Structure 1
Amino acid sequence: METMNIGELTLTWLNGGDTYLDGGAMFGVVPKPLWEKKYPVNEKNQIELRSDPIFLRVNGKNILIEAGLGYGKLSAKQLRNYGVTEQSKVEESLAKFGLAPSDIDIICMTHMHFDHAGGLTKKVGDRYVSFFPNAVIYTSAIEWDEMRNPNIRSRNTYWKENWEPIQEQVKTFSEEIEIEGVINMVHTGGHSAGHSIITIESSGERAVHMADIMPTHAHRNVLWVLAYDDYPMDSIYAKQKWIPEAIKSGSWFTFYHDGHYRAIKWDEDGHIIDSVKRNRPAAVVK
């Protein structure tokens, strides 16, 4: 598990599962000869996308950013279609800290698509229950409303088994919310109507978690947005607003999906000046 420090806080990436999705979908209208120079692609035109929550302790509370892919919830067809090579091992990751899922106090959800929210619940017998029964789960009010009432497009990624068991744990916000004095969740829209980004600040240092507005380091270009984005112009606007300011202020960018980097600092010319790389296995199944 990779770690990094933001001021007095330690961020640790847990094992939330691994998928291989179509590279064309992940880069939208950007031609493959351009994006394949920035991010490795396999012979099936798939790129590796992790689903790894970030764990941190703040004011004695155990906090997660995102929840992982989940375990034992996807059908054989879904496992194949989403290129899942590894399901979530968040419980095993937490055990290395002497913690169980019941010890998590707060979960910050940038949005509630299945690859982020799948880890919020688990199947026990023929029913689904909360995987983190004692956690307060934060997401935007717009996201929470759409998850429970998806439209013809979004119903493919908002699943009732991911929200029904945890609905009493959810707290929503409209535009912005501060959590424990160091975490800010800010509604952006874009990838979904209710999508949010997260900032973490401590002792003069800051990390910006753009989530699926910038899912990998190869999406730094403000125009490189996903075909999965419901509102791509809102994604572009959010990137125009947040990326230059974060770079100018010397902030870190952290990633949930990137298969190669956990965090990056760029200079204003787009060069990587510092990074935390993912410890990749010697051989990756594709």
Structure 2
Amino acid sequence: MRNTMSNKNLPLRVTPLVEARFGLDGGAMFGIIPRPLWGKTNPPDENNRIDMACRCLLVEYGDRTVLVDTGIGSKWSDKERGIYKIHDQDDGLRAALDERELSTEAIDDVILTHLHFDHAGGVSEFADDAETVRATFPNATHWVQRRNWSWANSPSARDGGSYRKLDFGFFETSDDAPPLELVDGIAEIMPGIEVLPVHGHTFGMQLVKVETAEHTFVHLADLIPTSSHMRDPYVMGYDLQPLVTVEEKREVLYEAAKNDWVLIFEHDPKMGCARVEHDERGRPKAVPVSL
């Protein structure tokens, strides 16, 4: 679906924001790829964890402010923080927003690619009593694919640990919960912002395509979590349908190279944005872009 809105209605600015850094098992992140290969670009620590980022996206119109994903959030025990190596965290993205003279209350819309804890954990926070869960962005309309909402509320035994109802359950239990909009399939949910569902990683995940006057940005979520995952067999062990991931990845990379899209890697610890080129063997590679 091509955006036909005039440029004055398109987003003015797109800014990647890192909410936290954390670590996950390198073997799980690279599936069938042997450690001697993925370890060259993503060296593991003593517990076999690789460095990862939680990279959100701030999209600003003249009168509207949108956040894509919310990071891992602050509702973690010390033990859990140790397991996931959570560090360098900006709770609620407050510092990053403060630098832009924004507050969490000023966010008008939150688009969630899916409800895994490292993407939607920051959608809520503990209140002052450290027990009650409340919305981090109380004035925002929250957007998620209907299929992912259903799956998150009744996941399989295989991926149940990735969905924490502590993060998003307040939408159904709290009288003060902000609006939740469930999206069905491909949709332009606001001028210049289109969501594209993909199902290889988990059912109902959505990529977020943002059109500005100068560039087209695509936030890749977990379809291609880092720049090291661009080649076909580099698929996470977490993916529910790895062969579907391969086909979805090929399609997105083809369109990205053809149309000069700027891709946003949610979990790459160093490279946040890139264009796609192909090497002498026809394999896709990431060419870093500075925003």
TM-score (norm 2): 0.87
Which residue of structure 1 lines up, in the alignment, with residue 155 of structure 2?
150
CA distance in 2, matches of 1:215, 1:273: 15
Q: How far has the Cα of 1:211 moved from its partner?
A: 1.0
Give the conservation status (yes or no) of the 8 Å contact 1:9–1:57: yes
Which residue of structure 2 lines up, in the alignment, with residue 217 of structure 1?
227
User: Which string of whole-angstrom CA distances, capped at 9 and with x for unpartnered residues, describes residues 163-215 of structure 1?
Assistant: 12234521111211113221111111111111111111122521122110100
Q: How far has the Cα of 1:131 moved from its partner?
A: 0.6
Which residue of structure 1 lines up, in the alignment, with residue 30 of structure 2?
27
1:32-47 → structure 2 map (5 Å cutoff)? 32-47=35-50
CA distance in 2, matches of 1:15, 1:206: 20
Matched, 1:171 2:159: no
User: Which string of whole-angstrom CA distances, capped at 9 and with x for unpartnered residues, describes residues 21-45 of structure 1?
Assistant: 1111100011112212333333432
Which residue of structure 2 lines up, in the alignment, with residue 140 of structure 1?
145
> Which residue, out of 207, 211, 220, partners 2:217?
207
Which residue of structure 2 lines up, in the alignment, with residue 122 of structure 1?
125
Which residue of structure 2 lines up, in the alignment, with residue 3 of structure 1?
none
Q: How far has the Cα of 1:100 moved from its partner?
A: 1.2
Q: How far has the Cα of 1:8 moved from its partner?
A: 6.4
CA distance in 2, matches of 1:150, 1:273: 36
Name the stretch that deviates more: 58-67 or 34-43. Answer: 34-43
Which residue of structure 1 lines up, in the alignment, with residue 4 of structure 2?
none
CA distance in 1, matches of 2:270, 2:285: 16
Structure 1 runs not aligned, ≥5 long = 1-6, 278-286
Give the conservation status (yes or no) of the 8 Å contact 2:54–2:71: yes
**SS in structure 2 of the partner of residue 16 of structure 1:** strand
Give the conservation status (yes or no) of the 8 Å contact 2:230–2:285: no
CA distance in 2, matches of 1:59, 1:187: 27
Name the stretch that deviates more: 201-210 or 94-103. Answer: 201-210
Letter in 2 for 1:16: E
Q: How far has the Cα of 1:103 moved from its partner?
A: 0.7
1:1-286 → structure 2 map (5 Å cutoff)? 9-71=12-74, 73-89=75-91, 90-124=93-127, 125=129, 126-167=131-172, 168=177, 169-203=179-213, 205-269=215-279, 270-276=284-290
Letter in 1 for 2:144: T
User: Which string of whole-angstrom CA distances, capped at 9 and with x for unpartnered residues, describes residues 107-143 of structure 1?
Assistant: 1111110111110000111210111011111111111
CA distance in 2, matches of 1:56, 1:176: 19
Gap change, CA 1:155 and 1:250, over 3 Å in 2: same
CA RMSD of aligned residues (A): 1.9
Give the conservation status (yes or no) of the 8 Å contact 1:244–1:268: no
User: Which string of whole-angstrom CA distances, capped at 9 and with x for unpartnered residues, describes residues 66-116 of structure 1?
Assistant: 001112x11222112112123333012111112111110011111110111
Give the conservation status (yes or no) of the 8 Å contact 1:147–1:163: no
Which residue of structure 1 lines up, in the alignment, with residue 3 of structure 2?
none
Name the stretch that deviates more: 235-244 or 12-21. Answer: 12-21
**SS in structure 2 of the partner of residue 212 of structure 1:** coil
Q: How many residues align?
A: 270
Give the conservation status (yes or no) of the 8 Å contact 2:146–2:183: yes
Name the stretch that deviates more: 268-277 or 239-248. Answer: 268-277
Give the conservation status (yes or no) of the 8 Å contact 1:248–1:267: no
CA distance in 1, matches of 2:171, 2:135: 6
Letter in 1 for 2:36: P
Percent of matched pairs sharing the same residue: 28
Q: How far has the Cα of 1:272 moved from its partner?
A: 4.3
Structure 2 runs not aligned, ≥5 long = 1-9
Give the conservation status (yes or no) of the 8 Å contact 2:256–2:276: no
